[in-house]
Structure 1
Amino acid sequence: MRRVQYEHSGGPEVLEVVSAEVPTPGLGELLVRVEAIGVTLPVVRKVREPREPIPLGGEIAGEVVAVGEGVTSCMPGYRVTGLCFGHGYAEYALLNSAMASTIPDGASAVDAVALVRSGLVALGALDAARPQPGESALITAAASGVGHLAVQLARVRGAERVVAAVSDLAKAEFLYELGVDEVVAYPQESWGEPADYALDAVGGELLGPALAALAPGGRLVAYSSGGGTIQAYDLLVGAKSVIGFQMARVARETPDIYEHWRQELWQYFASGQLRPAVHAEFPLAEAAHAHTAIETRANLGKVVLIP
């Protein structure tokens, strides 16, 4: 089979397609013939980290072709999606059965990788903000794979006003089509009327402006891998709060909530309330182009690899 990997850290140019053996599923694992792979910012960032190369994991979707010992929930022939922690940029990949979610009839593998993992992060971050009907929401990186779902979910959960913050106002038309009320660009000083809560996927130097864009008593949910710091005084002066959200912790410690969110996402998809958008579908051999789309912030929605 073909697989994408890299030998040393660097930009997208270090990715290469190699020949590899089809893996054998172990205890609790599924062997999936991969039909679609969701490219994520954390994986793109890891390729640049000055450390030993790691397997390119991420969201995968496809058909189960074999199962390991102890698997009773997903049999060969099932169509599933889930987060692969091993080599996911491949024609065949191993998926822990506990991370697998069945793809319902009428949905494609591309729909699945555009919706489930990104949607889980968006929905989890939104729940962490404790939204109330009639409140206003601010979403950063709003045109990203997670962000474009978050703006829709905020509306579904009762937001009266949804503000999308992006790096380039050229993305505004895409976001207005998704139903947002305002689009603002960072790092400009003012983001308009203060919001009741914000979901930040950028981090770094944007944490401060995102906090400043909140109304008194506002909540900032930080779920970025980009780091950043906030001054305690900026919290005290407006009685604001910052909440950290990590999907891995939810999946590990409260699997019932994780599964409930998965079912909720598919229900929103089936009803037409949630529309996952795909920026582009790249063949496996063009994984470097997929990473470039993420790094340059060019994507409108999800970036997908097709083996």
Structure 2
Amino acid sequence: MRRVRYEHSGGPEVLFTEDAPVPVPGPGELLVHVAAAGVTLPVVRKVREPREPIALGGEIAGEVVSTGEGVSGYAPGDRVTGLCFGHGYADYAVLHAAMASPVPDGASAADAVALVRSGLVAYGALDAARPAAGEAALVTAAASGVGHLALQLARLRGAARVVGAASDNGGGSGKADFLRSLGADEVITYDEETWGEPVDYVLDAVGGDLLTPAVRALAPHGRLVAYSSGGGTVQAYDLLVGAKSAIGFQMALIARGRPAVYEAWRRELWRLFAAKELRPAVHARFALEDAAKAHEVIEARSNLGKVVLIP
């Protein structure tokens, strides 16, 4: 089979495709013939980190080929999606059964990759904000794989005003039209002096220097939910003067510690998809051999929705 990996840190140019043996599923694992694999900013960032190379994992979707010892509920031929911690940029990948969920009829593998993991992060970050009907919401990285779903979910959870924030990307990127088509009332860019009228909560996927204007955009008693791998610092005084809150959200803690909640969120995402109330967008599909091009799109922040590899 083919898989993509790298041997030293760097940009997209360090990725290469190689032949590798088909993996064997261990206890509690599924061997999946990959039909789609998601490309995420955290994985793209890790390739640049000066550390030992990691397996390029992430969201995958495809058909179960075989199962390891102790697996129940899945059989060869089932269509599944889930988070792969090993090599996901590959023709075949191993997926732990606890991280898998069925792909319903009517949904493609690309739909599943765009919806489930990104949707779970979006849903969880929104839940952490404790949204109330009639509030105003702001979503950073709003055109990203997670952000474009968070924007829609905020509206579905009762937000009266939804603001999408995105990088300018040199203009002409189509982000403003894309976000408005998903229900954004306003679209701002990060370099604007003010981010408009205050909002009740911000869902932030960027971090870094953007945390300061994100807190500033909050109304008194507003909540910032940070779920970015980009780090950054929030000044305590900026929270104090407006009785604002900063909340951290990590999907892995929910998956490991609250599996019933994790599963309930998954079911709700598929329900919203089936009802055509939630629209996952796939920006581009790349072959495995073009994984470097997929990483370039993510690094340029030019994607409108999810970037997917199609082995």
What TM-score does the superposition give when structure 1 sets the normalisation length? 0.99
1:211 aligns with 2:215: yes
Q: Which residue of 2 aligns with 1:273?
A: 277
Q: Is the 8 A contact 1:123 1:261 kept in 2?
A: yes
Q: Is the 8 A contact 1:60 1:82 kept in 2?
A: yes
Q: Which residue of 1 aligns with 2:14?
A: 14
Measure, in 1, the Cα distance between the counterparts of 2:73 and 2:100.
9
Measure, in 1, the Cα distance between the counterparts of 2:241 and 2:298.
36
1:297 positional shift:
0.3
1:228 aligns with 2:264: no
1:113 positional shift:
0.1
Q: Which residue of 1 aligns with 2:100?
A: 100
Please point out which of 178, 198, 201 is paired with 1:174.
178
Q: Which residue of 1 aligns with 2:242?
A: 238
Cα RMSD of the aligned pairs, angstroms, is 0.6
Alignment of 1:1-307 (within 5 A): 1-168=1-168, 170=173, 171-307=175-311
Q: Report which stretch shifted further, 41-50 or 161-170.
A: 161-170
Q: Is the 8 A contact 1:204 1:226 kept in 2?
A: yes
1:73 positional shift:
1.5
Measure, in 1, the Cα distance between the counterparts of 2:221 and 2:26.
49
1:189 positional shift:
2.0
Report the residue type matching 1:22 in the other structure.
Answer: V
1:230 positional shift:
1.1
Identity %: 75
Give the gaps of 5 or more residues in structure 2. none
Q: Is the 8 A contact 1:23 1:31 kept in 2?
A: yes
1:251-285, Cα deviation, whole Å (9 max, x unpaired) = 00000000000000000001111000011000010
Measure, in 1, the Cα distance between the counterparts of 2:288 and 2:163.
35
Report the residue type matching 1:233 in the other structure.
Answer: Y
Report the residue type matching 1:271 in the other structure.
Answer: A
SS at match of 1:197: strand
1:99-158, Cα deviation, whole Å (9 max, x unpaired) = 001000110100000000000000000000000000000000000000000000000000
Measure, in 2, the Cα distance between the counterparts of 1:145 and 1:67.
30
SS at match of 1:216: strand
Measure, in 1, the Cα distance between the counterparts of 2:91 and 2:219.
48
1:65-87, Cα deviation, whole Å (9 max, x unpaired) = 00000001111111000000000
Q: Is the 8 A contact 1:29 1:94 kept in 2?
A: yes
Report the residue type matching 1:38 in the other structure.
Answer: G
Measure, in 2, the Cα distance between the counterparts of 1:254 and 1:189.
40
Measure, in 2, the Cα distance between the counterparts of 1:262 and 1:124.
10
SS at match of 1:90: coil
Measure, in 2, the Cα distance between the counterparts of 1:277 and 1:164.
16
1:192 positional shift:
0.3
Measure, in 2, the Cα distance between the counterparts of 1:243 and 1:187.
24
Q: Is the 8 A contact 1:203 1:222 kept in 2?
A: yes
1:187 positional shift:
2.5
1:14-46, Cα deviation, whole Å (9 max, x unpaired) = 000000000000000000000000100000000
Measure, in 1, the Cα distance between the counterparts of 2:235 and 2:263.
36
Report the residue type matching 1:196 in the other structure.
Answer: D
Give the gaps of 5 or more residues in structure 1. none
